[in-house]
């Protein structure tokens, strides 16, 4: 009897184990089931967003789920979606930013004394890691890190998805997040400014928020074409103007986008949002108002619809970046070049503007007093007392950084930095010290550490870092 009972009990235990094993090992969902789950998640996500909840973590997990889905790893995608739903459930509401905190943020920017250019903080030039970069910022008492991240071409999400060239430069959003987190840990009060170009989209693009990939026919639809405004002259056809820009500021492999195009606006805002989600406090936009200025020149009429619509679209982008920052409980500073003030429209709500000494003044080692006085007066009259940052710009072989690095000796570079710094201070302008970054041109002969086409103040070929440190500490 006892033997029989033991056999029965043994069978029951085995059955329970088998059943529980089945329970613990659910079947992998199908592709269609996952698509339905993604749709349900998006509905809940948008509802939470509309209610003012911080869903950043949930969005990040959803992106991981989508990457697994694209790899057809449906089991991992499903598990990640479970985690995303859980994060969404725990999401907290974002309180409206009190006016006093907004005022404090404006004052914080106005207190900046030392701005340093370092593009990009993750590059690892000559084995320099993020701790070494932070040490440079601490030595110079940097308040504002300018162009700490620059997104020119599509940026991979992580090292696992990065091509060799991007990986060599530590050019992934994962590297950006880790670097900014480390900087903020060591320097909690520093303002980290990322940067994006309004003058370029790659022929093949990717939205880093939605992961949507745009093929060449879709990016061509976003490219600027003057015929949209009835500007039909053959010299300004879409094909002609795109060819012109590929030989200039846009470069090969990309298009000059139409800033009034809704699809481009969504993509462009996503580039800014991604850097904000990665820890950036400020976004500098290169050539934001260039489309409006191009059409002013082409038409000879600053009130032409093409000028007006381009200007308004650029201004709207500034507002939307601010709004996104507020939705995350942050004050995000937005800046661009100063020369939009020459157009006859209400000024955008920018927080700072940038200027650059031209190549002619650098080669002469003499800044034009009258011209710079007029520029600063024009800025102040239209924008009030907002910060103006001056930096040595770059683009090609004739650009300011190329001239500075290739035409001036080490000693002349150091002396000119002192002159620009003193001159800027006399005009109420903050000179951005060129610690690292700035393309020296395709034909540059004097390279940083004999290898790099980017200017580096610590390279023995230039050796301006000690001058920069001395100037910075003097403030």
SS3 190: coil
Distance in angstroms (rounded) separating the CA atoms of residues 260 and 424: 35
Cα torsion angle, 218, 224, 230, 231, sign: negative
* β 205-206/430-439 pair status: unpaired
pLDDT computed for residue 73 by the predictor: 86
CB 215 within 8 A of CB 167: no
Distance in angstroms (rounded) separating the CA atoms of residues 233 and 471: 51
Distance in angstroms (rounded) separating the CA atoms of residues 173 and 195: 13
SS3 455: strand
pLDDT < 50: residue spans in the chain:
1, 8-9, 15-24
pLDDT computed for residue 6 by the predictor: 53
Distance in angstroms (rounded) separating the CA atoms of residues 151 and 127: 22
pLDDT computed for residue 1 by the predictor: 47
CB 194 within 8 A of CB 275: yes
pLDDT computed for residue 22 by the predictor: 45
pLDDT computed for residue 197 by the predictor: 98
Task: Tally helices (H) and strands (E) across the chain.
Answer: 18, 13
- Report pLDDT digits (tens) over 328-340: 889 999 999 999 9
- Nearest 10 degrees: Cα torsion 27, 31, 34, 38: 170
The CB density around residue 247, as the number of other CB atoms within 10 Å, is 10
Query: Where do runs of H (alpha helix) occur along 189-255?
Result: 216-222, 238-246
Distances (CA, A) of 425 to 401, 414, 433: 21, 17, 13
* β 213-214/254-255 pair status: unpaired
pLDDT computed for residue 5 by the predictor: 53
pLDDT computed for residue 84 by the predictor: 86
In sequence order, the 6+-apart residues with CB closer than 8 A to the CB of 233 are 226
Cis peptide before 120 (omega within 30 of 0): yes
* Structural domains in the chain plus CATH codes: 2-90 (no CATH), 99-473 (3.20.20.80)
Plot region of 130 (φ>0 → left; ψ -120 to 50 → alpha; else → beta): alpha
Pick from 58, 67, 63: nearest CA to 86 = 58
Distance in angstroms (rounded) separating the CA atoms of residues 233 and 224: 15
Phi, psi of 281 (to 5 degrees): -100, -20
H or E element that contains 471:
helix 465-473
């Amino acid at each position: 009897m006892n033997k029989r009972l033991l056999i029965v009990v043994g069978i029951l235990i085995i059955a329970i184990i088998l059943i529980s094993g089945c329970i613990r090992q659910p079947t992998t969902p199908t592709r269609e089931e996952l698509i339905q789950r993604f749709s349900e998640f998006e509905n809940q996500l948008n509802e939470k967003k509309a209610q003012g909840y911080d869903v950043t973590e949930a969005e990040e997990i959803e992106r991981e789920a989508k990457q697994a889905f694209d790899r057809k790893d449906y089991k991992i995608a499903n598990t990640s979606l479970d985690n995303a739903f859980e994060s969404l459930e725990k999401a907290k509401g974002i309180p409206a930013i009190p006016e006093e905190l907004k005022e404090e943020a404006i004052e914080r920017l106005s207190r900046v004394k030392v701005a340093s250019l370092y593009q990009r903080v993750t590059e690892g030039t000559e084995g320099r890691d993020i701790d070494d970069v932070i040490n440079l910022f601490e030595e110079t008492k940097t308040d504002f890190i300018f162009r700490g991240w620059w997104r020119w071409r599509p940026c991979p999400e992580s090292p696992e998805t990065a091509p060799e060239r991007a990986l060599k430069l530590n050019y992934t959003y994962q590297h950006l997040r880790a670097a900014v987190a480390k900087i903020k840990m060591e320097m909690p009060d520093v303002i980290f400014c990322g940067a994006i170009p309004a003058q370029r989209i790659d022929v093949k693009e990717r939205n880093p928020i939605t992961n949507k990939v745009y093929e060449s026919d879709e990016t061509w639809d976003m490219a600027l074409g003057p015929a949209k405004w009835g500007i039909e002259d053959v010299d300004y056809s879409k094909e002609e103007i795109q060819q012109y820009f590929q030989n200039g500021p846009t470069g090969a492999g990309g298009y000059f986008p139409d800033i009034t195009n809704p699809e481009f606006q969504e993509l462009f805002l996503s580039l800014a949002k991604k850097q904000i989600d990665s820890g950036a406090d400020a976004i500098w936009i290169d050539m934001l108002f260039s489309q409006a200025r191009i059409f002013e020149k082409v038409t000879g009429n600053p009130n032409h619809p093409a000028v007006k619509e381009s200007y308004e679209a650029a201004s709207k982008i500034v507002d939307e970046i601010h709004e996104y920052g507020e939705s995350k409980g942050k004050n995000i500073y937005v800046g661009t070049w100063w020369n939009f003030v020459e157009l006859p429209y209400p000024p955008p709500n920018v927080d700072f503007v940038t200027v650059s000494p031209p190549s002619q003044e650098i080669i002469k080692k003499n800044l034009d007093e009258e011209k710079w006085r007029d520029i600063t007066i024009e800025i102040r009259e239209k924008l009030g007392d907002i910060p103006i940052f001056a930096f040595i710009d770059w683009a090609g072989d004739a650009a300011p950084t190329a001239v500075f690095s290739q035409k001036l000796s080490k000693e002349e570079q150091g002396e000119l930095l002192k002159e620009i710094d003193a001159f800027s201070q006399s005009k109420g302008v903050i000179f951005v010290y060129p610690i690292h970054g700035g393309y020296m041109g395709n034909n540059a002969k004097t390279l940083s550490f004999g290898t790099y086409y980017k200017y580096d103040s610590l390279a023995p070929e230039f050796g301006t870092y000690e001058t920069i440190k001395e100037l910075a500490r003097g403030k």
